Chains A and B, each alone.
Chain A
Amino acid sequence: MKAPVFAYAKPASLAEVFDCLDGGEGVRLLAGGQSLIPSLNMRLSAPTVLVDINHVSALRGISEAGGVVRIGAMTRHHELATSALIASLLPLIAKAVPHIAHQAIRNRGTIGGSLALADPSTELPACCLALDATIIAANRKGERRIAARDFFLGIYETALAPDDILIAVEFPLPGEDAICGFDELARRHGDYAIVGLAAQGVRKGQTWSSLKLTFFGAGDRPLLAEAAAQAVVFGKGIGAAQAALEDALSPSDDGECSAKTKMHLARVLLGRVVETMESGT
């Protein structure tokens, strides 16, 4: 199918973006376009104005300062995958990115687009939660800082207001003795995960001091499994942690996989990811 008719704007600065966002309800921001363009071509989405933010240079770049890594919203997945800074400071992101779709999609897709879309079965929102990220939104009145745990509200639903643009994400440095783990189960390489897990913790020797377990594909948004993480941290055994997932996750049935099976797979993933983290491999 062909996209319905829409107007197209190509702002070069945030100020121009804000002007465009004043245009009302039918305005949509075009980042990497890997989800929006297909939805236009399927006529599932019919914006009146498409605001292409690919040429706003203020939205790009990865930097580190004051114990924080800042990633510009228009940073492509491919840039995350090849960044030495990300590999050394945020290895969880480095582990997650190769699971995002296919190379052609990673070449165009952006972190800001992924977070703003808030598809509950995708990798980066879960990583943001596990890493305690802060999402920075801006509008004409100024900037707002939103904790990742307050950002994702439901399927394709975030704390962004209609006149907001997501401009960057900030990650606190994980610190000493930080370890991470990531795995997902997808039918084919590059597919959306049936269920996935991003884990970030601190462990010295044989002792955990903290752990965040974020599941994706297991509910209407990325979900922190806090009781399960506590069970691991306090050494109650993996079985106890797995049992604690029952209350933390709420996967739904789809044609390929039932909710019950997704819960089972989440428990298997938990066991495998924690075992890998504990064995240091």
Chain B
Amino acid sequence: MSVIDQMKGLTFLDRPNSYIGRSVPRPNAKRLVQGRGTYVDDLRMPRLAHVAFLRSPYAHARIRGLATSAAKAAPGVIMVATGADIAKVCTPWVGVLTHFKGLKSAPQYAVAIERACWAGEAICAVVANSRAEAEDAIALIEADLEPLPVTVDMETALDPGTPIIHAELGDNLAFERTLDVGDVDGAFRDAAAVVENTFSVGRHTGVTLEPRSIIADWNEGEEKLTVYHSFQAPHMMQDIVCKHLGLPEASVRVVCKDVGGSFGIKVHIYPDEMATVALAKILKRPVKFIADRLESFVSDIHARDHRVKAKMAVSAEGEILAIEMDDLTGIGPYSVYPRTSAVEANQVVNLTGGPYKHQNYRARARVVFQNKVPMCQYRAVGHPIAVMVTEGLVDQAAAAIGMDPAEIRRRNVIRDDAHPSIAASGIKFEKLSHQQSLEKLLTMMDYDGLRKEQAELRAKGIYRGIGLAAFIEITNPSAAFYGVGGARISAQDGCTLRLNPQGGVIAAIGVTEQGQGTESVIAQVVATAVGVPMSDVRVVTGDTDATPYGGGTWACRAAGIGGEAAWQSGKALRANILEVAAVILQSTPDALDVREGKIVDKATGVERMTLAELGRVAYFRPDTLPADLKPEFVVTRHYVPKDYPFAFTNGMQASYLEVDTDTGFVKLLKHWCVEDCGTVLNPQLVDEQIRGGIVQGIGAALFEHCRYDSQGQMLNGSMADYLVPMSSEMPDMEVGHVVTPTASSELGAKGAGEAGTAGAPAAVINAINDALRPFNAHVSVQPARPEEILRALGKV
């Protein structure tokens, strides 16, 4: 940074042509709204075959036989493959990691061989010339299935007498974690008040706009498998395909073009997708699988499904003294590969009570098998449960001692000047801003004014509620997340930049785009770091042959980790450009800068030459350059966070709503979120991530629920019956920021994609309970359907 810049009070981010911190338009938006996106189903290729799956109608059944001759003879059918056929080319997997001590699971096959363990598990595959012909043939398969006893209710999954799903595992307990910190019993003994509750968070799922989609193509001549995949982590998929199909890395390329939403749904290994890859290998031709809406509901991972019994001790002054909680969660019949299904419960243990100062904490989490759709990581893994438990108890504690809900939070959050700090669960915070966030939120929402309005309306029989929720969010994960447990999932990401002769820059990067704007953020960072107009930057993502090795986009890592790799790479390219320019211009690199695609005099900003001229000389007339000058216009830099396992972010949310106490209907009036994701690279993208996250959090709080019967059948697996949150019911959402950059990187950016989902359910449920307070009624079940509210009110 120049002396002049320092005098102006500018940081290194405020370069003359900086795009950082600005809501610049997304380069890919125009293409996508014009319908020119390339999703997997848009790809056309010769000899493309289509696979459809026969799925088990039973939640647990022995496959005694599959009569497939009629299906094999049906029009257009290319192959009918059983689980045993697929297993000849694709080995089974077990979803465990070594850092979850005791986690166990059973081998899972791409297509079930002996038993189906959930209603919806694929038990036979049909490949045909069209999807319709494949479905016609499926109807002709005679499956001889012997229904087996089911384990559905997680509450009884561990009881003696409950059928054990995998006999070789000995019981239905997949994983258990306990924690006991400080003097919990003493704190409860000495407390002025103890509040307790049982919180229930229902199963829901991701419902991506583009369903899971894959085309795999085995080219026998090249001995190369190309997988076009609607997915978040292409290199992870490449590694796993290599492992289970026994192929060398050079033989597998995974390409993720446009991806229509993911939310964590598309970061797991799915049996039907692995089967598609195996079929392409067997048939030596491209095979496509697109999950339709109905099979998505019974084959995409589900999320949540937690029951938490918890209590909190507080002093008369409102100090939180201790928290004790017991979480039980059901994950279906297998721990999902390769990230495992123990992560969510583990996060609930880590995050519960996280915003607060207390140091007495006891927790237990048990993860059990059941015959339901497998459960795994979905947006804000574990966070909404931990936040609900904590913030629900905080509100109950405030009520028990007669303290305002804002005041009790003010007294208990970890102080902004107390960092670095360690929470009772052991998680480490570099620097958080709970106090600033709370005060900013209360000002934004006019908390005192709303309380007054609430009281006035209550006198007229109108019941409105205000709900607050403090949250912390795990972002920028280091290798501590998966790598240390043995998962071959990259924690680092690289960015390769190439300056082209006309001055354009190609940026190839390991993080990926699923609609959230990753490519925009990378283009902004690269343009700023190199010194070129954003329109001159083209970003390449989602191709294992074309980008540096990387983890992809999940756990709020793309901007914080990918962005820093892009920043470092951009700086290095600029330095290389200036080295060459200095020779041509008979100057020194220090005296020059790159701005808006031109080499300028650093002090005056006067143009010396364009990048296009530099490119012309370097690429086409290198004979005019000194012999020892070797222009290096391709650079790569990598980044991985090392000093903290995670860059925690923090924030506060609030909900204002009205409960119709006759019908139990909830009208959402307004929602606020103040969050601190460090350096804000693109304010509009961050705000929309927060808003989208809030909507999914509201979905969990009020609408979304995978309902099951006692036989393990999902009852509402269609878009008519599964209630995704829709715009008509959504409130206006106001987003504010506190900026505490992480010192782990130069950019200082942390993640923002999951904060909304983390805090919204607790804010909404707390607001409902605030509205119901005059009736001494309380709900702690999500989704809080009208019937639950009427029940709490004693009206039904």
State which of A4, A190, A256, A265 has its C-beta within 8 Å of the C-beta of B785: A256
Indicate if the CB atoms of B723 and A1 lie closer than 8 Å: no
In the docked arrangement, what's the CA distance between A191 and B664, Å?
17
Contacts of B707 in A (CB 8 A): 255
In the docked arrangement, what's the CA distance between A163 and B785, Å?
43
> 0/1 per residue, A236-261, Cβ < 8 Å to B?
00000000000000000001111011
Does A144 make an interface contact (CB < 8 A)?
Answer: no
Does B663 make an interface contact (CB < 8 A)?
Answer: yes
Indicate if the CB atoms of A190 and B728 lie closer than 8 Å: yes
Does A5 make an interface contact (CB < 8 A)?
Answer: yes
**10 A-B contact pairs sorted by A residue (CB < 8 Å):** A188-B723, A188-B728, A188-B729, A191-B720, A191-B723, A255-B715, A260-B796, A261-B787, A264-B796, A268-B663
Does B726 make an interface contact (CB < 8 A)?
Answer: yes
Q: How far is the CB of B129 from the nearest CB of chain A, in Å?
A: 13
Does A55 make an interface contact (CB < 8 A)?
Answer: no
Does A12 make an interface contact (CB < 8 A)?
Answer: no
Indicate if the CB atoms of A42 and B728 lie closer than 8 Å: no
Does B404 make an interface contact (CB < 8 A)?
Answer: no
Indicate if the CB atoms of A264 and B716 lie closer than 8 Å: no
Indicate if the CB atoms of A261 and B790 lie closer than 8 Å: yes
Interface range for B: 20 to 34
Please provide the chain B residues from 606 to 658 with a CB less than 8 Å away from any CB of chain A in the complex. Answer: none
Contacts of A2 in B (CB 8 A): 130-132, 135
Contacts of A187 in B (CB 8 A): 703, 723, 785-786
State which of B136, B292, B721, B729 has its C-beta within 8 Å of the C-beta of A5: B136
In the docked arrangement, what's the CA distance between A115 and B728, Å?
27
Contacts of B728 in A (CB 8 A): 188-190
Does A145 make an interface contact (CB < 8 A)?
Answer: no
Q: A189-B728, A264-B796 are in contact. Are A42 and B294 (CB under 8 A)?
A: yes
Please provide the chain B residues from 704 to 738 with a CB less than 8 Å away from any CB of chain A in the complex. Answer: 707, 715-716, 718, 720-721, 723, 725-726, 728-729
Does A185 make an interface contact (CB < 8 A)?
Answer: yes
Which residue from chain A places its CB closest to the CB of B52 in the assembled complex?
A1
State which of A42, A185, A192, A258 has its C-beta within 8 Å of the C-beta of B663: A185
Q: How far is the CB of A44 from the nearest CB of chain B, in Å?
A: 10
Contacts of B131 in A (CB 8 A): 2
Contacts of A255 in B (CB 8 A): 707, 715-716, 721
Which residue from chain A places its CB closest to the CB of B702 in the assembled complex?
A187
Contacts of B135 in A (CB 8 A): 1-2, 4, 43
Does B168 make an interface contact (CB < 8 A)?
Answer: no
Contacts of A194 in B (CB 8 A): 786
State which of A1, A189, A260 has its C-beta within 8 Å of the C-beta of B294: A1
Q: A43-B135, A260-B796 are in contact. Are A268 and B665 (CB under 8 A)?
A: no
> Which 7 A-B pairs give the minimum distances between C-beta atoms?
A189-B728, A2-B132, A255-B707, A261-B796, A261-B787, A268-B662, A264-B796
Q: How far is the CB of B71 from the nearest CB of chain A, in Å?
A: 15
In the docked arrangement, what's the CA distance between A185 and B132, Å?
38
In the docked arrangement, what's the CA distance between A268 and B796, Å?
12
Q: How far is the CB of A38 from the nearest CB of chain B, in Å?
A: 8
In the docked arrangement, what's the CA distance between A260 and B786, Å?
13
Contacts of B665 in A (CB 8 A): 185
In the docked arrangement, what's the CA distance between A42 and B720, Å?
13
Contacts of B294 in A (CB 8 A): 1, 42
Q: How far is the CB of B211 from the nearest CB of chain A, in Å?
A: 12
Interface range for A: 20 to 34
Q: How far is the CB of B785 from the nearest CB of chain A, in Å?
A: 6
Q: How far is the CB of B51 from the nearest CB of chain A, in Å?
A: 13
Does B795 make an interface contact (CB < 8 A)?
Answer: yes
Indicate if the CB atoms of B136 and A258 lie closer than 8 Å: no
> 0/1 per residue, A26-65, Cβ < 8 Å to B?
0000000000000000110000000000000000000000
CB within 8 Å of A: which residues of B? 130-132, 135-136, 139, 292, 294, 662-665, 703, 707, 715-716, 718, 720-721, 723, 725-726, 728-729, 785-787, 790, 795-796
Indicate if the CB atoms of A265 and B726 lie closer than 8 Å: no
Which residue from chain A places its CB closest to the CB of B787 in the assembled complex?
A261
State which of B721, B785, B795 has its C-beta within 8 Å of the C-beta of A264: B795
Which residue from chain B places its CB closest to the CB of A268 in the assembled complex?
B662
State which of A42, A188, A190 has its C-beta within 8 Å of the C-beta of B703: A188
Contacts of B664 in A (CB 8 A): 261
Q: A1-B294, A255-B716, A256-B785 are in contact. Are A189 and B729 (CB under 8 A)?
A: yes
> 0/1 per residue, A208-245, Cβ < 8 Å to B?
00000000000000000000000000000000000000
Contacts of A256 in B (CB 8 A): 716, 785, 787
Taking each of A42, A191, A265, A268, which has the highest tally of chain B beta carbons within 10 Å of its own beta carbon? A265
Contacts of B729 in A (CB 8 A): 188-189
Q: How far is the CB of B429 from the nearest CB of chain A, in Å?
A: 39
Q: How far is the CB of B121 from the nearest CB of chain A, in Å?
A: 17
State which of A4, A189, A260, A265 has its C-beta within 8 Å of the C-beta of B136: A4
Contacts of A191 in B (CB 8 A): 720, 723
In the docked arrangement, what's the CA distance between A257 and B791, Å?
11
Contacts of A258 in B (CB 8 A): 787, 796
Q: How far is the CB of B202 from the nearest CB of chain A, in Å?
A: 11
Which residue from chain B places its CB closest to the CB of A186 in the assembled complex?
B665
Which residue from chain B places its CB closest to the CB of A2 in the assembled complex?
B132
In the docked arrangement, what's the CA distance between A255 and B718, Å?
13
In the docked arrangement, what's the CA distance between A72 and B189, Å?
76
Taking each of A43, A261, A268, which has the highest tally of chain B beta carbons within 10 Å of its own beta carbon? A261
Q: How far is the CB of A5 from the nearest CB of chain B, in Å?
A: 7
Q: How far is the CB of B440 from the nearest CB of chain A, in Å?
A: 32
Contacts of A5 in B (CB 8 A): 132, 136
Q: How far is the CB of A97 from the nearest CB of chain B, in Å?
A: 16
Q: How far is the CB of A119 from the nearest CB of chain B, in Å?
A: 11
Contacts of B786 in A (CB 8 A): 185, 187, 194, 257, 261, 265
Q: How far is the CB of B748 from the nearest CB of chain A, in Å?
A: 40
Please provide the chain A residues from 155 to 185 with a CB less than 8 Å away from any CB of chain B in the complex. Answer: 185
Q: How far is the CB of B486 from the nearest CB of chain A, in Å?
A: 39
Q: A255-B715, A258-B796 are in contact. Are A264 and B790 (CB under 8 A)?
A: yes
In the docked arrangement, what's the CA distance between A260 and B716, Å?
21
Indicate if the CB atoms of B726 and A257 lie closer than 8 Å: no
In the docked arrangement, what's the CA distance between A3 and B139, Å?
12
Contacts of B139 in A (CB 8 A): 4, 43
In the docked arrangement, what's the CA distance between A265 and B663, Å?
6
Contacts of B715 in A (CB 8 A): 255
Please provide the chain A residues from 1 to 26 with a CB less than 8 Å away from any CB of chain B in the complex. Answer: 1-5
Q: How far is the CB of A125 from the nearest CB of chain B, in Å?
A: 18
In the docked arrangement, what's the CA distance between A176 and B632, Å?
89
Indicate if the CB atoms of B785 and A257 lie closer than 8 Å: yes
Which residue from chain A places its CB closest to the CB of B130 in the assembled complex?
A2
